Amino acid sequence: MREPVIEIQNLSFRYNLRFVLENINLKVEKGEFLGLVGPNGSGKSTLLKCILGLLKPNSGTIKLFGTDIRHFQNWNRIGFVSQKANSFNTGFPATVFEVVASGLTAKIGLFKFLKKNHHEKVMEALRSVRMDEFAKRNISELSGGQQQRVFIARALVSDPELLILDEPTVGVDAKTVQSFYELLEKLNKELNITLILVTHDIGTITDKVTHVACLNKTLHFHGKTNDFEQIQDEDVAKFYGHSLHVLTHNH
């Protein structure tokens, strides 16, 4: 049997006294592209923080690549792109190359030790998001969509097996969003990177994701995208108290 990339059992989490995640069970296998969807405040970011080891669940267990998160050390295997990654618009003094290289130096130590093969790794990561021609440009000169690609390259530079993206398309125009999803599909299919994408846009990416998880404190649905598409709108309304249309346009 294949080793799951993530295995969560009976996870609950509360801030102070209020539970925001209750009895979550979720298994993500290698090669999956999971769309994690839920309205604002449904616990998506909290769940990601638990998976990234930034928050400690009140109960339940998380295994990453078969290892209990409390003993997991090989964080290089996981890349993370946060929602706020594409907000370098205030003259931040770094080139695209430097931003991507910082993904390596965070792992290998001082910038001055960047070796020739590291240079090639940075360029390879930039090529995979089709931003290699922008290597020498200042990050702050780029559009939000281009910056987002650079931050994906930064996450890719250490060859993660799992890439987690938190609402990467907020504030990006529809055309850019579409090409961004195509890029994610390519990373998933060609580089065999397991992906978790937190999104409001589940309606527009059901042709890209292999699995869907609907979260609102508990997991109301988790399964293959085909099965998700069989669910009628009324069923989704039952999960969320409003329709899929509202759910997917709830920015």
The residues of the shown chain that bind ligand ADP, judged by CB under 6 A, are 15, 20, 38, 40-46
Q: Which is nearer to ligand ADP, 54 or 106 (CB)?
A: 54
- How far apart CA 33 and CA 164 sit, in angstroms, is 10
Structure-token match 């580089």, residue found: 191
CB nearer to ligand ADP: give 40 or 117. Answer: 40
The distance of closest approach from Cβ of residue 76 to ligand ADP in the complex, given in angstroms and rounded to an integer, is: 25
CB of 248 to ligand ADP, least distance (A): 14
Q: DSSP of 47-109, one letter per residue? A: HHHHHTTSS--SEEEEEETTEETTT---GGGEEEE-GGGG---S----BHHHHHHHHHHHHH-
- Select 44 or 154, whichever has its Cβ closest to ligand ADP: 44
Q: How far apart (Å, rounded) are the C-alpha atoms in residues 240 and 250?
A: 12
CB of 22 to ligand ADP, least distance (A): 12
Q: Of 18 and 175, which has the nearer Cβ to ligand ADP?
A: 18
- Which residue matches tokens 């994610």? 184
**DSSP label at 134?**
G
We find the least distance from the C-beta atom of residue 147 to ligand ADP, in angstroms, to be 21
Comparison of 16 and 73: residue with beta carbon closer to ligand ADP: 16
* Sign of the four-CA dihedral 41, 43, 49, 55: positive
Shortest distance, position 106 Cβ to ligand ADP, whole Å: 24
